[in-house]
Structure 1
Amino acid sequence: MKKYAFALLLLVSTASFAQETAKSFWLAKTTGKLPALSYGLGDDRLGGAKMGYLDTNVVLKIIDSTQSMFLVQLSKNRTAYIAKEFVVADTITKLKPYYLTDSWYVKGTDSCYDIASISIGEHLPYKSWMEIAPSKIMVDIYGVQSNTNWITQLQNLKEIKNIYYNQIEDDVVRVTIELVHQQHWGYTIGYSKKALVIKIKRQPDLVNIKKLKIAIDAGHGGTNSGTGGSNSNVVEKDLTLLFAKAFEKQLKTLGFKNIVQTRTKDTTFNNSDRVLFLQQENPDLLISFHLNSSSKPDVSGSSTYYKHIGFRPLTTAILKRMLAIKMNEYGNIGNFNFTLNAPTDFPNCLLEIGFLSNVADEKRIITKTFQTQVAKQVYLGITDWINSVKNK
């Protein structure tokens, strides 16, 4: 009788635990423009440090919340945060006891990509990043176990050198994509049906760089004025447009024909929409012009910014050319949490030309001669970068 009572108590306790576990999360899906996972609740003027963007309709387990963020259970041992604006409740999806990676298909295309397609069976969360020396693209897929027993690779691959995986935790699969070239030219990641697809940009033809498609971004605009001058009435949004137009003129004079601008007049164009626009345009590289400001009037100089380590060489080359025209060095800043630095799709550089809060910098910035000079230096920086990566 005691054994029966103990067994009954154990059964009830187990059932109660299962019910509590079942109630410990609710399902949601990603939605909106550029949903992103964050590492934690830290914040600054650019938002908290981000793991990266996710595709829409990715299934998430929500286990807790703050005023503005949801806590997501990515796997048994890993969590992340996501802003509530990027989440919608999912009452349709029925979670399976487990998810498995199936066969992979890796091929080249007739366009500018190599493609790796990983069958999973559901839109599960993931994280991707770049590594260098040697160049790799890394992808962690959460909430999945590997049942991949073959990876089909075609001979028409031009950028993917090797691709393989490791089960680094019970429910985390890590994908490693080794690249042919040293320089990262970008990649796009997202779901197609029930497969996670990574589109890796091939290195463009660098023999004639005038064939490159160059995107130019004039920072701010419209209702977003940016910073203002210390001695003059100039505002950042007007000046960045002048620098962007000077750079476009420089490129056209040299014979470039494939140029795209995010804005050509004083218009409001938020950064998320700019990224979506640029992803559609698929440039070979992006330069975003900005002007800096500080509460300390003696702070001056040029600086360049990147988020992904694979894109740093472009930013260092441009900064070096800015220093050649006797701008002080404010630095080369990595892991920068700016929206236009966040895309992995193409190399990008944010250039803070100088400080409008500094009298000497401002005096140069507002002149047409300096705007033309900066346009030339940015072009020279791009050519320096391209020459350094040729045949590597």
Structure 2
Amino acid sequence: MKKFGFLLFLLMFAFIVGAQAPSVSAASGTEIVLDGKQLDMPADAGVVNVNGSIMVPFRVVGENLGFAVDWEQKSQKVTIQKGSTKMLLVVKQKSATVNGKKVSLDQPPLLQKGSVVVPIRFVSEQMGLAVSWDGVNKTVYLSTDGSNPSGADPGTGAGSGGTIPVPDTGSGNSEGTAPSGGSEGSGVTGQEGIAELTGISFSDNRLMIATSGNGNVVPKVFTMKNPDRIVVDLPQTQFSGALGETLPLSADAQGKLDVSGYPDVSGIRYSLFSSSPSTVRIVIDLNYAKNYAAYPDPSGNGMFIVDLNLASETPSVPVGGSGKKVVVIDAGHGAKDPGTIGYSKTKEKDFNLAVALKVGQLLGSEPNIDFVLTRSDDTFLELKDRVKIANDLNADVFVSIHANSAGSSAASGSETYYQRDASKSLANVLHKYLVQATGLADRGVRYGNFHVIRETKMPAVLLEVGYLSNPKDEATLFSENVQQSVAQGIVSGIKEYLGL
């Protein structure tokens, strides 16, 4: 955590300066995405280009990290400290000191418009932050886990520790390019074990995406600004060879949908964003910032939907028609909230999401049930937002999936919580199936005053499937077979409770 924080702070410093007068220009429109989240860029502290390198003012990140920073005006020194890590940088000096060790810089720090900046290359190489550059989209991607953050070719740009190229100042609006390796025209990469994008359509203010060949595609959906847009990344996915027969697809695997008559949307674009691993990106260009809901099609036909029909922050999801029961599945925690950390450093949020997605796949085959996942990827929702989704949908059942933790590694077993008497029968049924699925100790059905099962208006339960603090429970919960069994148990319990 120390390394991540310090690294990130440096990141905020950004600019490179040569011994001679530097060439500095604003990198207009350039954005920074950290672990999938776009950073806010103050108007007076934007990304800049110095002698061909893209740099970021330190305060863009530093103000949010709680580092101890000291600036000595007279000596032009900046001291940055977090825990046991301490760095000293001096304006116009081509070396920095990290914990007493001198480290060379390609370019010295620079005092630019009141902010001290350092080369982003230095940050990535010395501090371990993975950095890549999307020249078409004019975006710097940062990753704190060392992975290639944008999927860009690792041999180019900052991902390899080299200088990030100056962004094209033209008006191109593609969110990504098709790196080498794709077949001309079709965008098919020929990789084994990946899904195929078979269709894209937009109607009723909803983007519909069809895939086939791999049931494990989990779209990553996020927003970007300046201009406003919604981005959908499909990992381990390539264009179907037949897609070009029904949709425009250029030789470099890019295309646009002809969209008109929708006040929210100015256009929809798609491209083979990466060939290693193969990733398709779809972009909804918006006329203004817009709330949305993203969820698998309840019919279970392999479709994924991004719905722009939101009157408020709550998804307006077309479910519950034709007398179908409505089920909301809530994967606890997410993104910045990892939940409990397991015995071997696993994260509860990952277990919760894995089971929720499997439940969704199973519910998609149920003809009398419509379902909504509160989250289908690693995103964060406030508890009140999870509740609001269920209440506004007038759902029949709400199930929140969690894993437990205790101060001792001895605690083990499955338990189910309810808060209102109206939820107790649902809790009893689901707990029966949960214990059968996990094979863990039966810790019973219990009262719990948790927000998501207290404030929801329908029968609602919270499942603590097992204890991640127990090494045996943890291994069980992260078994693919057990997760599938738990998912099937949840579906069977819901059906029994609803009389289906």
Higher RCO (Cα < 8 Å, 6 or more apart): 1
Same fold by TM-score, threshold 0.5 exceeded?
Answer: no
Q: TM-score, normalised by structure 1?
A: 0.43
Structure 1 or 2: larger helix share? 1
